[in-house]
Amino acid sequence: MATLIAYYSRKGENYWAGDIKVLEKGNTERVAEFVAEATGGDLFEIETVEEYDADYYRCIEEAKAELQADARPEIKAAPESLDEYDTIFLGYPNWWGTCPMCVFTFLERYDLTGKRIVPFCTNEGTGMGGSEKHLRKVCKGATIEKGLAIVGNQAAQSRDKVAAWAKKMA
C-alpha cells in the first residue's frame, strides 16, 4: 500500500513571529514536502475554488466565519479514490484551533474506514489545537495518530525533525 501526503497551505501574507510576512511557499507546503521526501509518498495539495482574501487579517476572518458556519468550501480537485493508500499524512495550518474547513471538504469525500490519518500542522503557538479531536469525528472508521505541530516560522528549518517523525509514523 502507498502513502499520500494531502495538505492545505497558505502562500502570501502569513502571521510570522508576531508580524506579517509574505511567503512565496506556505509553511505547511514546506513541511508536506519534507514528509514526502522522507516517506516517498504522493503529494496532493488541497486548493479551494474560491481563494481566501490576500490580506492575512481578512483571510482569518473568512476562516472564522467558515468555522462558525461549519462550512465546507468547494475544492478544485481531489483524487477519484484513496483506495491505494493505507496511510494519509494530512497537513494544514491551525486556524482557530482546528483544520481549515476545506480540509474537512476533502476528507468527507471518502470512506476512510481502515485508513491511518497522520496529521501535522503549522501554527504560531497553538500547536494541534482541537484538530485531532475534530478529525476523529470526521474520519469515521479511520485511526487518527498523534500529530506533529511545527511552528510556522520554523517550518523551513524543520526538515530533520519532520523526516524523523514521518519515518517513524510511515
- Lookup: cell for 72: 465546507
Q: What is the pTM of this model?
A: 0.97
Count CB atoms within 10 A of the CB of residue 57.
10
Q: CB count, 10 Å around CB of 157? A: 11
User: Per-residue pLDDT for 72 more than 90?
Assistant: yes
Residue 58 has pLDDT above 90, yes or no: yes
Cα(16)–Cα(12) distance, integer angstroms = 11
Q: How high is the pLDDT of residue 1? A: 81
Report, as an integer, the average pLDDT of 13-20. Answer: 92
Tell me: pLDDT of 159 over 90: yes
Say how many domains are in the chain. 1
Q: What is the grid cell recorded at 69?
A: 458556519
Average pLDDT over residues 115-131: 96
pLDDT single digits (tens) 30-52: 999 999 999 999 999 999 999 99
Residue 146 lies in domain? 2-169
Any idea what the CATH number is for the domain that residue 37 is in?
3.40.50.360
